[in-house]
Amino acid sequence: MYPADMIVHGRLLVYNDEKKKYPMKFTRITVNPHQMDGVPCIRGLRIPVATIVAMMADGMSTEEILKSYPDLCLEDVREALKYAAEAVRERELPLTAQT
């Protein structure tokens, strides 16, 4: 599932299949092809989900992220992490063997 395959229906993301629409349970994540090249963002703001996830991965606390982005709230950060988890749930990621 790629951002180009998703549209915003109200405040609910919908995955478009030629035959069906599959609603997803995210109300704080928006995808707009005319904003940030369709990258999933938080509530229509120009704050990509990937930015929030990367900040967490780099060891920043939720409080530090909220201080860096005062327009965000705790629920935004939580939903960004849930969205990222869902995005990789059904995909195999290549891993290299440790020697």
**What predicted TM-score, i.e. pTM, was given to this entire model?**
0.70
Give yes or no for residue 20 having a pLDDT over 90: no
Residue 19 banded pLDDT, cuts 50, 70, 90: very low
Which pair of tokens denotes residue 14? 């919908």
With CA atoms as reference, report the closest residue to 53 among 84, 74, 24.
84
Q: DSSP per residue over 11-49, as a string?
A: TEEEEE-SS-EEE-S-SSEE--TTSGGG--EETTSS-BH
CATH entry 1.40.20.10 includes domain 28-89: no
Q: What is the pLDDT of residues 37-94, one digit of tens each?
A: 999 999 999 999 999 999 999 999 999 999 999 999 999 999 999 999 888 876 766 7
The residue ranges of every structural domain in the chain are 28-89
Residue 12 banded pLDDT, cuts 50, 70, 90: very low
Q: How far apart are CA 27 and CA 90, in angstroms?
A: 21
Residue 38, φ and ψ in degrees, nearest 5? 80, 10
